[in-house]
Amino acid sequence: MNLADRALCADQDRWARELQWTVNRTGFGARLYRDPRFDLVREVEEVGRGFSA
């Protein structure tokens, strides 16, 4: 079953890893792909909230 799951999502997983995204398996044939650069956006927004004009 694990092998079938990995085979099913192999192309998408490879593509996401080439983009340096995180890949989390959430179920059979289900993945959560995430670009970690969004963490940087969140950090910058939090710093910006500390400076109010």
Q: Is the dihedral of CA 37, 40, 46, 50 positive or negative?
A: negative
Rounded CA separation 50/27 (Å): 39
User: What CA–CA distance (Å, rounded) separates 19 from 34?
Assistant: 10
Please tell me the distance from the alpha carbon of residue 33 to that of residue 49, in angstroms, as a whole number. 28
Encode pLDDT of 14-46 as tens digits. Answer: 999 999 999 999 999 999 999 998 888 788 888
Q: Is 32 helix (H, G, I), strand (E, B) or coil?
A: strand
For the full predicted model, state whether its pTM sits above 0.75. no
pLDDT at residue 53 in the model:
58
The residue-averaged pLDDT of 2-20 equals 95
pLDDT of residue 15: 97
25 secondary structure, DSSP code: E
